[in-house]
Amino acid sequence: MDIKTLVLALALGNLSLCAALFFFEYERKKSLSMSTWAVAKQCQAIAWCLLYFRGVLPDFLSILLGNSLLFAGMALDAGALWQAAGRNGWRRTVLPALGLSVGLFAACYLFDVAPLLRSAGGSLIVAGFFLSGVAALCLKWREASMLRRFLVVSMGLLSLLIAARGVLAAAVPGFDAELMQLAGFGALYLMMLTNAFGYLLLSREKLGGELARLEVLDAATGVPNRRGFYQALAPWMALARRPGLPTALVVLNIDHFKRVNDSYGHPVGDAVLKTIVDTCRQQLRDSDLMGRLGGAEFAIQLPRTTLVDALMVAERIRAAVEALPVKTERAVLQLTASLGVTTIRAEDSTVSLFKRADEALQSAKQAGRNRVVEAQAASTLDI
């Protein structure tokens, strides 16, 4: 495969990516990182088309404009990866670096610097922007998936190959110039494929992770739902069979919450639930976990907490809810909560644990609500 064919392949490859991205989620708004990446591919597609027609178009178009657009595409490529990593300030460094790169290349072109040196400088600029994207992928390395680690290694090696091609071509005149150029464009072609498939697979991986998170999260309150809470509770159920401090469970129900939904509507009800959750969390440690079981019922896991201490925590929560005026657009509501408290026992299953906590909660409601009741102590009949 000759150099001209590789340039054409790069041009057609980026054009096909642009077409695919145009129809990708056409009817929905794309993320900012995806939009940046799409613009990057458009710049690269135009750049490779201009470079392919070198000798047909004027040099200032095929060489100067073509390379400038190529640098812009590589810079935005790196910016999209920084954006996806949550670093929104990437423009403060990447865009000035792009401006400097385009200015230096334009100066080399206008002052008729040797083509070999100009080509070497262009290779180093491209490699530098690629390595910037690799640095974005390296963030939170310990949490990185195998896919992201593979992309770091492969893109890093290809970037170094592109940089080495430029340095060797300029520093060692005895090297086969055509062979080095072929190696450089080959590395760029592999980088295009790796970057394209890698970015799309990373986006899919991120979306899959978000969907998995939503499966265990209650959207209205931001705490785990029943499934998520049960998953978090499972290891503590196993630890209960070992000696040591127990783990407590508190089941909380907001008194007469149905009246809020009936009188003010579900949006107000959701806002009230969120306020109550925030109030409860203020009474908890970072290691404690609160989850929504459904409706106005919540569960609170208190690791390494005795029954006496759990009752004190539950009482603080009850008092905080009672003292909290919940402001809505139509009224200021005064709410109360009933709570049942127990600890995980060695013989417990999830069913028996929640049955015991729920019985304590029902006792609190029957006793007049707005109170804390502990579960009945274990008896020999229960063992």
pLDDT in tens, 175-194: 555 676 777 778 888 888 88
Q: Are 343 and 326 in contact (CB under 8 A)?
A: no
3-state secondary structure of 29: coil
Rounded to the nearest 10 degrees, what angle do helices 32-52 and 3-23 cross at? 150
For residues 217-240, average pLDDT: 89
The pLDDT value given to residue 382: 42
Residue 72 has pLDDT above 90, yes or no: yes
Share of the chain above pLDDT 70, in %: 91
- Please name which of 365, 312, 370 lies closest in space to residue 341, comparing C-alpha atoms: 312
The pLDDT value given to residue 380: 39
Share of the chain above pLDDT 90, in %: 42
For residues 229-256, average pLDDT: 88
Q: How confident is the model at residue 1 (pLDDT cuts 50, 70, 90)?
A: low
Distances (CA, A) of 184 to 173, 297, 333: 16, 63, 69
Q: Are 52 and 85 in contact (CB under 8 A)?
A: no
The pLDDT value given to residue 33: 84
- State how beta strands 337-343 and 372-374 pair: parallel
Alpha-carbon torsion (99, 101, 102, 107), positive or negative: positive
Give the DSSP H or E segment for 40: helix 32-52
Alpha-carbon span 358 to 352, nearest angstrom: 10
| pLDDT tens digits for range 78-134 | 999 999 888 989 999 999 999 999 999 899 888 877 777 788 888 899 999 999 999
Residue 347 has pLDDT above 80, yes or no: yes
Alpha-carbon span 371 to 319, nearest angstrom: 9
The pLDDT value given to residue 27: 54
Alpha-carbon span 289 to 302, nearest angstrom: 7
Q: How many residues does the chain have?
A: 383
- Please name which of 374, 218, 217 lies closest in space to residue 295, comparing C-alpha atoms: 218
Give the DSSP H or E segment for 338: strand 337-343
Count CA atoms closer than 13 A to 205's CA, side-chain side: 12
Residue 381 has pLDDT above 50, yes or no: no
DSSP category for residue 247: -
Residue 195 has pLDDT above 60, yes or no: yes
Alpha-carbon span 33 to 244, nearest angstrom: 49
